[in-house]
């Protein structure tokens, strides 16, 4: 079958099935053109419960598989995934607007990377260990309800599904209803790879219709959610009555401290580019750039040049650096926050509320740089999720650390310094799940997750694997 045949269906118990009678439909909009590219059904409680029942029935058999058998399954998934990379990139670019080259080199690649990282973790993971006369056994927690976002759709699907399967869990996946195409492709990949009936299930839908069913259902043993902090709170409340495990990766407002001994040109330009990557739609984007007050004007000049070099436009054009943001709703939110920055007295260095030149259609936002931003401004503490950066001057390193930590979030932080030991000292003071020192490469084996209202639990490789395991102590085992 092809994705065109499966767009309106759900994948339950090893088969593509039609939605329940009465399911409503939602159009998938290409944010670059504002045109409808697909229509999917929004699952009802009955659809979610059918998928949960299939996963529950499959769990005893699948959880008894050996680690070697699960590793072989992941290897088959990896091989099929790799053979469909071009299709995956095309789907992601179409549904959420990433430039096509980036959709393949970063978005689609991340899914493959997570599968391979999980395979490495599974090979090396110790599932049983002796402590005196007690045997500690790590075993699958049960049925996993996975709820994934639209901004890095395949990244988040793979970094949840792969470790869940590696642990021996069975899965019900609900991708974002506004970017569901890559999730449907992923279900096709798992079907082709020979995942047993009921082990993996996919139901499209929205939060109230499917997400709350997964988070509140007594036959779901863990719910793993990536999305906004607002929605994460609702998931946690829904899950509380059944006392299930909840793993969440939520919002962020990540600081980027540029120390006085950093190369200002390199640090500012790389920080701006990192913030604007994926059109600013990354939860760990370094959106708050902190610079020494005596270098503030230099930083603004460098940021302006960097931002204005970036090409915003058609995702299919190889020259494009930034595509559109995901939707009209997101576009309007970003425009409102840009307006608030101006109203609050921040210095608009470049960008602003006008559409980029020559782009009359599509949800395109000008790369926008604000200077002279102070902590009380909305743009300094609210997550914008668009190509907007706030540059904030500081008078001392102690003040920089204080400003950096003055947020309800704690997903990521960044430090730039010409002296590695200096950067390390500052990095240890930052309250975030990941601290990036001097623009390192993406590390798929580093734990990913946040402090405070950025969530709980950790994803990627063995860190993700642990979330889907229970620890059992066989005392007196001998």
Instruction: Single out the residue of 474, 458, 454 nearest to residue 466, CA to CA.
Output: 458
Residue identified by tokens 């003040």 is 399
Residue 307 is inside which H or E element, if any? helix 296-309
283 catalytically annotated: yes
Q: How far is CA 424 from CA 167, 344, 416, 427, 452, in A?
A: 34, 34, 10, 5, 22
- Do residues 470 and 139 make contact, with C-beta atoms less than 8 angstroms apart? yes
User: Exactly one of 249, 275, 383, 459 is catalytic; which is it?
Assistant: 249
β-partners of residue 255 are 288
Residue 228 to residues 205, 303, 409, 455, Cα–Cα distance (Å) = 17, 28, 11, 10
Q: Report how far apart, in Å, the C-alpha atoms of 375 and of each of 203, 390, 426 are.
A: 42, 10, 20
Sign of CA dihedral 379, 383, 385, 391: positive
In 3D space, the residue among 394, 283, 291, 280 whose CA is nearest the CA of residue 337 turns out to be 280
Report the DSSP beta bridge partners of residue 144.
Answer: 171, 222
d(CA 215, CA 225): 9
User: In terms of C-beta density within 10 A (0-12 exposed, 13-18 middle, 19 or more buried), how is residue 372 classed?
Assistant: middle
DSSP letters spanning 81-98: HHHTHHHHHHHHHHHH--
Name beta bridge partners: 174: 147
The one catalytic residue in 159, 283, 383, 459 is 283
Radius of gyration for the chain, computed over Cα atoms and rounded to the nearest angstrom: 23
Sheet holding 128-131, edge to edge: 128-131, 134-140, 469-474
Catalytic site positions: 249, 283
């Amino acid at each position: 079958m092809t994705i065109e045949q499966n767009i309106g269906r759900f994948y339950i118990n090893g088969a593509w099935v039609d939605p329940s009678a009465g399911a409503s439909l939602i159009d998938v909009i290409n944010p670059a053109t504002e045109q409808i590219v697909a229509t999917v059904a929004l699952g009802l409680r009955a659809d979610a419960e059918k998928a949960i029942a299939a996963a529950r029935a499959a769990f005893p058999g699948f959880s008894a598989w050996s680690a070697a058998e699960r590793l072989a399954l992941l290897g088959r998934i990896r091989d099929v995934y790799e053979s469909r990379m071009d299709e995956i990139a095309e789907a992601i670019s179409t549904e959420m607007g990433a430039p096509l080259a980036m959709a393949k080199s970063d978005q689609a690649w991340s899914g493959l990377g997570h599968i391979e990282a999980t395979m490495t973790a599974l090979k090396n993971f110790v599932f049983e260990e002796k402590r005196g006369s007690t045997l500690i056994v790590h075993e699958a927690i049960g049925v996993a309800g996975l709820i994934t976002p639209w901004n890095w759709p395949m990244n988040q699907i793979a970094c949840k599904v792969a470790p869940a399967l590696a642990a021996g869990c069975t899965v019900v996946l609900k991708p974002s209803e506004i970017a569901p195409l890559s999730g449907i492709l992923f279900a096709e990949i798992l079907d082709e790879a020979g995942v047993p009936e009921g082990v993996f299930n996919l139901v499209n839908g929205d939060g109230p219709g499917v997400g709350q069913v997964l988070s509140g259902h007594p036959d779901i043993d863990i719910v793993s959610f990536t999305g906004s902090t607002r929605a994460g709170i609702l998931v946690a409340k829904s899950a509380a009555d059944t006392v299930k495990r909840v793993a969440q990766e939520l919002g962020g407002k990540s600081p980027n401290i540029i120390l006085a001994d950093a190369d200002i040109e390199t640090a500012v330009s790389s920080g701006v580019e990192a913030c604007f990557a994926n059109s600013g739609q990354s939860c760990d984007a370094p959106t708050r750039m902190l610079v020494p007050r005596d270098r503030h004007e230099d930083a603004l000049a460098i940021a302006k040049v960097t931002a204005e070099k970036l090409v915003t436009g058609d995702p299919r054009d190889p020259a494009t650096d930034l595509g559109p943001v995901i939707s009209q709703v997101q576009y309007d939110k970003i425009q409102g926050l840009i307006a608030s920055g101006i109203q609050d007295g921040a210095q608009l260095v470049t960008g602003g509320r006008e559409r980029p030149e020559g782009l009359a259609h599509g949800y395109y936002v000008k790369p926008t740089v604000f200077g002279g931003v102070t902590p009380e401004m909305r743009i300094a503490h609210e997550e914008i999720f668009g190509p907007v950066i706030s540059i904030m001057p500081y008078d001392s390193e102690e003040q920089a650390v204080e400003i950096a930590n003055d947020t309800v979030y704690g997903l990521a932080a960044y430090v730039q310094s010409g002296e590695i030991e200096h950067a390390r000292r500052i990095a240890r003071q930052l309250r975030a799940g990941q601290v990036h020192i001097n623009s390192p490469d993406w590390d798929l084996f580093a734990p990913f997750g946040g402090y405070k209202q950025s969530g709980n639990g950790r994803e990627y490789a063995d860190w993700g694997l642990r979330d889907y395991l229970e620890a059992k102590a066989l005392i007196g085992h001998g």
